[in-house]
Chains A and B, each alone.
Chain A
């Protein structure tokens, strides 16, 4: 059975990198948003969310990520998703999240994209 949600975070190249594990439900989504909020208040404007450890997500959890996109738009920041399971990637695509967020195969790839686009202030 899918494990309970947990996350780790670190700041790399002035970008917040959040890696999730387990089921991203409302509790998981809220935890991601809270972690983002803490770093956003300190000036972080580039965010990478690695969902590779989460094979099961739901739309309630994902709706919290829209809030992150919204706040990054307001502050001139950028969000990347990485390590997506194909089904999760399709889900985010249906929700339209890739109109406002990027995706990369790996965290390193996302950090490279952010640096290349000047997205890491």
Chain B
């Protein structure tokens, strides 16, 4: 990826800290002359990845590592937490029909990240969870 710009940050577990990452994302896009509308979906992906990681990061290692690499054509997103991990394949696919009437209406993060990205990979074990996403900036 020539002319790529990279940003790395470690986010503490405080309310709305994901907005700091979004500010960085916007700055990278402006630097590369990428139209605001082209990163709108990336904002949602990044938001979901970070709040998901913060929620699962645990009390002992609450920080979340975030890295963006952006070119004029695509964005790579890397988000890692050091929580207890989970089995991604065991996560129930959310369905609006079953959510209506159910006490838990949450659980949409993975679905949104998968559906809005061009490549989505997740690895998770007892040492934490890593999400790697590729998003074309069309």
The interface of chain A, by Cβ under 8 A from chain B, is: 1-2, 23, 25, 55-60, 62-64, 66-67, 69-70, 73, 85-88, 90-91, 94-97, 99-100
Contact = CB atoms under 8 A, between A and B. Distances in A.
A58 B96 CA distance: 16
Given A60-B106, A63-B105, A100 B100 contact: yes
Summarize B's interface: helix, strand, loop or mixed: helix
B96 A85 contact: no
B46 to A, nearest CB: 10
A94 B105 CA distance: 14
A58 B16 CA distance: 11
Contacts of A99: 96-97
A87 B99 contact: no
A1 B27 CA distance: 10
A13 B37 CA distance: 34
A86 B40 contact: yes
Contacts of B109: 59
B43 A66 contact: no
Summarize A's interface: helix, strand, loop or mixed: helix
B67 interface: no
Closest 3 CB pairs of A and B: A96-B96, A87-B40, A59-B108
B112 A95 contact: yes
A1 B51 contact: no
Contact of B112 (A67, A69, A94, A100): A94
Given A23-B16, A94-B112, A55 B43 contact: yes
A96 to B, nearest CB: 3
B100 to A, nearest CB: 5
B23 A1 contact: yes
Contact of B106 (A25, A59, A88): A59
B111 A94 contact: yes
